[in-house]
Structure 1
Amino acid sequence: MDTTLTDPLVGRLLDGRYRVESRIARGGMATVYLALDVRLDRTVAVKVMHRSLAEDPAFVRRFIGEAKSVASLSHPNVVQVFDQGTDGDNVYLSMEYVPGRTLRDVLRERGRLPAREALEVMIPVLAALGAAHQAGLIHRDVKPENVLLTDDGRVKVVDFGLARAVEASNQTRTGVMIGTIGYMSPEQVTSGAADARSDVYAAGIMLFELVTGRQPYEGETPMSVAYRHVHDTVPMPSALLPDCPPLLDTLVAQATARDPANRPADATAMLVAAVEAHRTLPRESGPIPSGPVSPIPTGPVPGLVPAPAVAAGMAGGVVPNPTLIQPRADLLTGPPAGQAPSPAAGRRGFRPNWFLVALAVVMVVAVGVTGWLFSQTDTVEVPALLNKNITLAANEARQQGFVVEIGEAQHDEEVPKDIVLRVDPAPKTEVKPGSKLVLVASAGPKRVNVPNVVGMDESAAKEKLASVGLVPDDVKGQASETVPRGQVIRTSPGVGTPLKENSKVDLIVSKGLVMPDVRGMHRDQADQMLRGAGFNPQFVEQNDSAQPCTVIAQDPRPNAEVDKGAVVNLTLSACSVEWHWPWEGNDQNVTEGSGGVPIPNVMFKDIRAARDELRAAGFKVEIRRGLNRGRVLAQTPPGGQPAPAGTRVTLWH
């Protein structure tokens, strides 16, 4: 039917800004339209809340607050909210228009996905939920209808915070339950409470559906499905698909634990597990079998509902899994479908369900008969429990009548943490019924953190490294003005780095201070340099032909390793002797302007810049290591006096 003729909003200019072009889909809480933002000239999806919600002031207030929170959530896997407003009786959201399909459309078309492909869909969904959880937002209605797959392969999640806004509008109604029954966590069913772990539960149900093509529970009424969420344990995907990887069984089991405390703390924690599972799966997960799927042992499961979903920018009609707004008592205490409620039901006390009582009696008898049959068997075979999650493997062994003991976990470089590494007795061993099995899980790869040995002497540092299982390797010396000679400055790799056992670690040990070469330096410059570096210079003079008051010998020798505060004995040429530079007093005319060149004063300049300046002026340059500071600490001959071109100038840095 043409929605232009039947929908009054089609063709209108909503709030003076959004020209409604067509209706995309209608869901449990809202209708989505394709519209043009005439101010910014862009196509958007406009979600208009149903009239019954828009008339509730509490809903409108909470809806505006939630819209602001979601609009601040910037993530590539979240459908962006542009605007929120009201136009008469219409309360709306303006959102990013996402051409493509919903995940429900994909499931309807393909039935189910290979394990690796299912994780490739779930990982961006969990990333979006994780970003919301970090920002304090809970989705509350995670399901395939709210996951969009764009034409270019991106995955987007829609409808953050909408269920919370609806819940706020129903606070005066006792026991109202908001959400979609097939994905609703036990705590949402029983108390209405929802947190990040409730979204994790729904994500686990959705992962189960992606890999099996169906939801874990079915029922003729919402009551029966809700009851099973509260009282049953979600079956493993391998119960339907024997070839399903054990890691997916583990992921689903952890995410759908009935007790929220046993689930991952939030979607980010589940995302880490999903990424690790994806990393370990083979590149090719194989074609999807064309034959029928095995039934779940714990009960029947529904087929897929072949109907499109409502989502921003999606084509379709009515949602197959609408968000439910219904009193909780209707689901948990209402009569089964087809049975009229008793007029006196509200006045009676507890009445037993005789069908369930009879079923329990039958189950007790069946368990007894099974136990008797086991007792008549001479031996049974230890099941194949290797490479399964330790909790699931223990439960499986107990269900087969074994007594299970969990041994101390052992590190292994290949087997991931919490996966069964060893079974004693080994799988396929013939043992008596009821025998004890010892399951040993992997503790994951063993890693040793590099200990802090900074400040220790070399022998103590090596002993500390060896004590934690690391191998001391090269010892490299490095001059240091702050770390005493012989003590460790740092390690390579650095302190705290996790390494495999027996990995090699280098030690960088302080050589203390390195004695500078001050030979040929004027007394005043040598004294200033050495005292500035923490040395104690002592001078003695002797007659020599060198320039007066210059260092002609030193002890300790240049480049020797010494401690801070060490005494340095310097021998000077006599300071009282009159002395002339070689070019002074001869026939060469070296005065400025008559052939002589003034020596540039390069004290305290960068050593390379000083060298280049002297060479440009026509002088030869000799560079000696002083304190290795990179700038000129002494200069001979001093700057300012004329000298012949080609004269050698010595610089210390």
Structure 2
Amino acid sequence: MDTTLTDPLVGKLLDGRYRVESRIARGGMATVYVALDIRLDRTVAVKVMHRSLAEDPAFVRRFIGEAKSVASLSHPNVVHVFDQGTDGDNVYLSMEYVPGRTLRDVLRARGRLPAREALEVMIPVLAALGAAHQAGLVHRDVKPENVLLSDDGRIKVVDFGLARAIEATNQTRTGVMIGTIGYMSPEQVTSGAADVRSDVYSAGIMLFELLTGRQPYEGDTPMSVAYRHVHDTVPVPSALLPETSPLLDTLVAQATARDPADRPADATAMLVAAVEAHRALPRESGPVPSVPVGPPRGQDSAPPPANQTLIQPRVDLLTSPVTDHAAPAARKPERFRPNWFVIALAVVMVAAVGVTGWLFSQSTTITVPKLVGKNVTIAEGEARQAGFAVEIGKAENSEDVPKGNVIRTDPEAGTEVEGKSKLLIIASAGPKRIPVPNVVGLDENSARTKLAEVGLVVGGVKKQSSETVPRGQVMKTSPAVGNQVKEGSKVALVMSAGLVMPDVKGMPRDQADAMLRGAGFTPEFVEQTDAAQPCTVIAQDPQPNAEIDKGAVVRMTLSQCSNGEWHWPWENNDQNVNEDQQIVVVPNVLFKDVRAARDELRAAGVSVKVKRGSGRATVLAQIPPGGQQVPAGTEVTLWH
């Protein structure tokens, strides 16, 4: 029965964007599907977490954070994370779809790999881990199942950060260890702690398995294997394969040291050692017998049985089958009887062939291989193997070629040159990014000049009031100072407008004086006679909303304050108030939130007019004042 047909997600549109087409894998934590991103019209892999994880809020929070971190990691040997989201009970990742097989599939089909092939797998894996380590990410579950070999020969590492997200779930609170026990470092077993050197340990175990065809520790239970990781020293590959190069023994031993301090500092350090070992290994090596499954020699085990299965080196990892070769039957040597004529003739022929070969070798040409777009370490190895003297030039910035991949070669691909010619390889340094310079405190012209000096332009100027930054100076930028942006990007400036002059017209003198002094102004008052309401501001200079500096003098004209009495329009003797009109008491809303004050006044039966004072969110003045009896519908003015 086809399980794909019974899967409820197959054929569904996930999150309104991903049309799930088929299921390709199911693991202990998630199920992976092939889906079509209908928005971008591309095929993606969608990893949907199991329901038990999706129902845990701690996992979902950690999962989202880790997904964002991994999505920022751009490396040719890392499976790219495009998107993360939830759709009902489904928590998912949208990732790059890599058609091919896992390294585990290859190991099952072929058994162990020859030394050079094993390193050619490990080098891109270590490059991916090294990029993650430099970005502050730890994989925590390095194993062959998480290494993908695409149909076109690329090697990709998947599932960065997922183990860390799982640690936040309830499942880990009962003592369950996160990771795969066969590859788990001693510190992960004992304390659950993992750093970049834990990934190095797991990579060392994986290299051991690639070289020998088996993991170093086997046991009846996971805990017995975990015990050996903590208390035993990982054997070197030559304990199983005596012909193993000492370089590989050293590389495995250093990577799998029980004390993290004795391992390479991170995957990049191990990558350097792996590349050096690859360079030092012979270019070609004969077929080597596979390793029988069982404990290493010297551990109470019988000698391994004879095994005629051979692995041919330098073959395609995805398609090459394991072949059997039988050793020829031994023949009894015959007595040697020299034929001097034949010997002399052979000497002449060998000499002639040697001279001819030397002559032809003087004019042998080789063709520059196509290396653009490949990882620079892999490209260097291919070029040296083709017979070039390789020189790695200074990396150059590129918006199109990922960091660490080849931009160009000199001579270019397809050029025929003499053997051992020099080949210059230029790698990408990634996109050129410029940190936004610190222009805070500069005037606008100076800020424009400083931005132009580093290749950036001003993308707009906004003004904002400030009590601390002098008027005309830059308060902040968008993007913020220090952010990495493309060359030629626009940077918006936020300039200080200093203080904005409030509108105090119609405000009593004492309230206007208090509000202006509190806002940092120096008020001055001049009285004028013919005004209806005494001691009230009837004019001001500067005008409302003018930009002025802190401490500036504000001149206000007042109605005459001599009689000291207030006469509201409804209190005048010459105005008749309708006896049937409802009288209400004005609530005191000073220092209350402006919105709450407006609602309270309207509820009391008066209308409200709000005027800007210092721009704060609380009421600084009100007219008529609180406690005043007024006809219903009277307008109350608030300043904030």
1:374 shift after superposition = 6.8
1:444 shift after superposition = 1.6
Q: How many Å separate the matches in 2 of 1:633 and 1:417?
A: 58
Say if 1:111 and 1:304, in contact at 8 Å, map to a contact too. Answer: no
1:159 shift after superposition = 5.0
Specify the alignment match of 2:449 in structure 1. Answer: 463
SS at match of 2:491: strand
Q: How many Å separate the matches in 2 of 1:527 and 1:610?
A: 22
1:296 shift after superposition = 9.1
Q: How many Å separate the matches in 2 of 1:302 and 1:267?
A: 30
1:560 shift after superposition = 0.4
Q: Which of 458, 477, 488 is matched with 1:472 structurally?
A: 458
Q: Is the alpha carbon distance of 1:476 and 1:207 closer, same or farther for their aligned partners in structure 2, counting shifts above 3 Å?
A: farther
Q: How many Å separate the matches in 2 of 1:204 and 1:482?
A: 61
2:204 paired with 1:201: yes
The residue type equivalent to 1:201 in the other structure is: G
The residue type equivalent to 2:599 in the other structure is: D
2:379 paired with 1:379: no
Q: How many Å separate the matches in 2 of 1:233 and 1:479?
A: 68
1:415 shift after superposition = 1.7
SS at match of 1:228: coil
Q: Is the alpha carbon distance of 1:202 and 1:548 closer, same or farther for their aligned partners in structure 2, counting shifts above 3 Å?
A: same
Q: Which of 585, 588, 613 is matched with 1:601 structurally?
A: 588
1:602 shift after superposition = 1.1
The Cα offsets for residues 109-160 of structure 1, whole Å up to 9 and x where unpaired, read as 65599x9xx99xx89x989x99xx999x999x9788xxxxxxxx99950157
Q: Is the alpha carbon distance of 1:432 and 1:456 closer, same or farther for their aligned partners in structure 2, counting shifts above 3 Å?
A: same
Specify the alignment match of 1:560 in structure 2. Answer: 546
Say if 1:143 and 1:202, in contact at 8 Å, map to a contact too. Answer: no
Q: How many Å separate the matches in 2 of 1:138 and 1:420?
A: 29
2:423 paired with 1:437: yes
User: Which protein has greater RCO, CA pairs closer than 8 Å, 6+ apart?
Assistant: 1
Say if 1:596 and 1:642, in contact at 8 Å, map to a contact too. Answer: yes
Specify the alignment match of 1:545 in structure 2. Answer: 531
Q: How many Å separate the matches in 1 of 2:211 and 2:356?
A: 30
Q: How many Å separate the matches in 1 of 2:476 and 2:185?
A: 54
1:196 shift after superposition = 5.9
1:413 shift after superposition = 1.7
Say if 1:590 and 1:597, in contact at 8 Å, map to a contact too. Answer: no
Specify the alignment match of 2:228 in structure 1. Answer: none
Q: Is the alpha carbon distance of 1:296 and 1:206 closer, same or farther for their aligned partners in structure 2, counting shifts above 3 Å?
A: farther
SS at match of 1:438: strand
2:247 paired with 1:231: yes
The Cα offsets for residues 203-240 of structure 1, whole Å up to 9 and x where unpaired, read as 34657899xxxxxxxxxx945735524236999xxxxx
Q: How many Å separate the matches in 1 of 2:187 and 2:634?
A: 87
Q: How many Å separate the matches in 1 of 2:532 and 2:472?
A: 38
Specify the alignment match of 2:568 in structure 1. Answer: 581
Q: How many Å separate the matches in 2 of 1:232 and 1:600?
A: 86
Q: Is the alpha carbon distance of 1:436 and 1:545 closer, same or farther for their aligned partners in structure 2, counting shifts above 3 Å?
A: same
SS at match of 1:580: coil
The Cα offsets for residues 505-524 of structure 1, whole Å up to 9 and x where unpaired, read as 11111111110000010111
Q: How many Å separate the matches in 1 of 2:471 and 2:442?
A: 11
Say if 1:138 and 1:160, in contact at 8 Å, map to a contact too. Answer: no
1:404 shift after superposition = 2.9
Q: Is the alpha carbon distance of 1:302 and 1:521 closer, same or farther for their aligned partners in structure 2, counting shifts above 3 Å?
A: farther
Q: How many Å separate the matches in 1 of 2:480 and 2:290?
A: 56
Q: How does 1:109-508 map to 2 (within 5 A)?
A: 110-111=109-110, 156-159=179-182, 197-204=200-207, 222-223=238-239, 225=241, 227-231=243-247, 265-266=265-266, 297-302=284-289, 320-322=293-295, 372=358, 375-508=361-494
2:621 paired with 1:634: yes
Structure 2 gaps of 5+ residues are 1-58, 64-101, 146-162, 167-177, 190-196, 214-236, 272-281, 308-353
SS at match of 2:609: strand
Structure 1 gaps of 5+ residues are 1-73, 77-102, 145-152, 167-193, 211-220, 236-251, 272-294, 306-319, 338-367
1:620 shift after superposition = 1.7
Q: Which of 568, 585, 610 is matched with 1:623 structurally?
A: 610
SS at match of 2:447: helix
1:569 shift after superposition = 0.6
SS at match of 1:464: helix
SS at match of 1:489: strand
SS at match of 2:244: helix
Say if 1:605 and 1:631, in contact at 8 Å, map to a contact too. Answer: yes
The residue type equivalent to 2:180 in the other structure is: V
Q: How many Å separate the matches in 2 of 1:369 and 1:201?
A: 48
The residue type equivalent to 1:566 in the other structure is: A
SS at match of 1:612: helix
The Cα offsets for residues 223-261 of structure 1, whole Å up to 9 and x where unpaired, read as 5735524236999xxxxxxxxxxxxxxxx9xx99xxx99
Q: How many Å separate the matches in 2 of 1:198 and 1:374?
A: 49
1:326 shift after superposition = 5.4
Q: Is the alpha carbon distance of 1:209 and 1:489 closer, same or farther for their aligned partners in structure 2, counting shifts above 3 Å?
A: farther
Say if 2:474 and 2:496, in contact at 8 Å, map to a contact too. Answer: yes
The residue type equivalent to 2:390 in the other structure is: V
Would you say how many aligned residue pairs link Structure 1 and Structure 2?
402
Specify the alignment match of 1:348 in structure 2. Answer: none
1:389 shift after superposition = 3.2
1:393 shift after superposition = 3.2
SS at match of 1:225: coil
Percent identical among aligned pairs is 53
SS at match of 2:424: strand
The residue type equivalent to 2:458 in the other structure is: P
Say if 1:589 and 1:595, in contact at 8 Å, map to a contact too. Answer: no
Q: Which of 624, 631, 634 is matched with 1:644 structurally?
A: 631
Q: Is the alpha carbon distance of 1:565 and 1:370 closer, same or farther for their aligned partners in structure 2, counting shifts above 3 Å?
A: farther
Say if 1:200 and 1:264, in contact at 8 Å, map to a contact too. Answer: no
Say if 1:413 and 1:446, in contact at 8 Å, map to a contact too. Answer: yes
Specify the alignment match of 2:507 in structure 1. Answer: 521
Q: How many Å separate the matches in 2 of 1:429 and 1:233?
A: 39
Q: Is the alpha carbon distance of 1:371 and 1:508 closer, same or farther for their aligned partners in structure 2, counting shifts above 3 Å?
A: farther
Q: Which moved more, 1:155-164 or 1:538-547?
A: 155-164
Say if 2:239 and 2:297, in contact at 8 Å, map to a contact too. Answer: no
For the aligned residues, what is the CA RMSD?
5.2
Q: Is the alpha carbon distance of 1:134 and 1:550 closer, same or farther for their aligned partners in structure 2, counting shifts above 3 Å?
A: closer
1:270 shift after superposition = 9.2
Q: Is the alpha carbon distance of 1:411 and 1:380 closer, same or farther for their aligned partners in structure 2, counting shifts above 3 Å?
A: same
1:300 shift after superposition = 2.4
Say if 1:486 and 1:509, in contact at 8 Å, map to a contact too. Answer: yes
The Cα offsets for residues 30-86 of structure 1, whole Å up to 9 and x where unpaired, read as xxxxxxxxxxxxxxxxxxxxxxxxxxxxxxxxxxxxxxxxxxxx999xxxxxxxxxx
Q: How many Å separate the matches in 1 of 2:129 and 2:388?
A: 37
SS at match of 2:246: helix
SS at match of 1:473: strand
SS at match of 1:623: strand
SS at match of 2:492: strand
Q: How many Å separate the matches in 1 of 2:181 and 2:401?
A: 37
SS at match of 2:513: helix
